[in-house]
Copies of this chain bind each other. A is one copy, B any other.
Amino acid sequence: MEKIRTIVVNRSAYADNDAEASLLRSYLKDRGVFLINVMSSPGAGKTSTLIKLINALKSSYRIGVLEADIDSDVDAISVSKETNVKSIQLQTSGMCHLDAGMSKTGLDEIDIKDLDIVFIENVGNLVCPAEFDTGAHLDVVILSIPEGDDKPLKYPLIFEKCDLVIINKIDTLEYFDFDFRKCEEMIKYRNPKSTIIRISALTGEGIDKIKNYLKNKIDEWRKS
């Protein structure tokens, strides 16, 4: 296991974030690096989903991970230990989200020249990360069963912006009152083009579906 590097990132110029994000997307396209931004509430299972997913993808792609957190490096350590891929911790020093400048800083540090995919694990927050384009080619939100089926009703923007909605912890379904139909209808109302995949990061159920979805997305993107 490589030693974890921790980078302190600060807010970039907000006015230019959309422009910076577009530039970053093109820059990465020219270099063949597909950037995936993963968002969720605290504790919805971003890290455990990423670990299972990276282990499923790493024979086909060279992968790196930028782990954003306010004030710890435990996720970067877990990802590095469980997957053996390159992982860097971005400490936001209290900031509630990443922006494009912050992801660029992380990408420069991780050295993308031998990578095909970089995952960003954003700060655990359903509100602010959705407001700031990180420069990713794909935005993903993870919602977990214990949080309840009404989250797409209450946190509209993140569900409007995400290409993929992962519903995690389906292994706990019998202990919670969660109405898939109601939840998925509201997700589709927020964004009719979104894809919804049900998984359990604990048992691994559904991880193959995300893997196939991402392979198709990356193939399309390479041809675009």
Contacts and interface: CB of A to CB of B under 8 A. Distances in A.
A172 interface: yes
A19 interface: no
Contacts of A150: 72, 74
Contact of A42 (B74, B126, B176): B126
A39 B203 CA distance: 31
A72 B154 contact: yes
A52 interface: no
A71 B156 contact: yes
A146 B128 contact: no
Contact of A151 (B42, B96, B172): B42
Interface residues of A, number: 32
Nearest to A69: B154
A124 B123 contact: no
A153 interface: yes
B96 A154 contact: no
Identical copies in the complex:
2
A153 B42 contact: no
Contacts of A154: 42, 69-72, 74, 124
Interface centre among A72, A123, A124, A151 (most CB of B within 10 A): A124
Main secondary structure of the interface of A (DSSP, over half): loop
B127 A146 contact: no
A191 interface: no
Contact of A43 (B71, B74, B131, B146): B146
A169 interface: yes
Interface of A: 41-43, 69-72, 74, 94, 96, 123-128, 131, 144, 146-148, 150-151, 153-157, 169, 172, 175-176
Closest 5 A/B residue pairs (Cβ): A43-B147, A146-B146, A96-B127, A41-B42, A43-B148
24 contacts: A41-B43, A41-B147, A42-B154, A42-B155, A43-B146, A43-B148, A69-B154, A70-B156, A70-B157, A72-B150, A72-B153, A74-B154, A96-B125, A123-B127, A124-B154, A125-B125, A125-B126, A125-B128, A128-B128, A146-B147, A146-B172, A172-B172, A172-B175, A172-B176
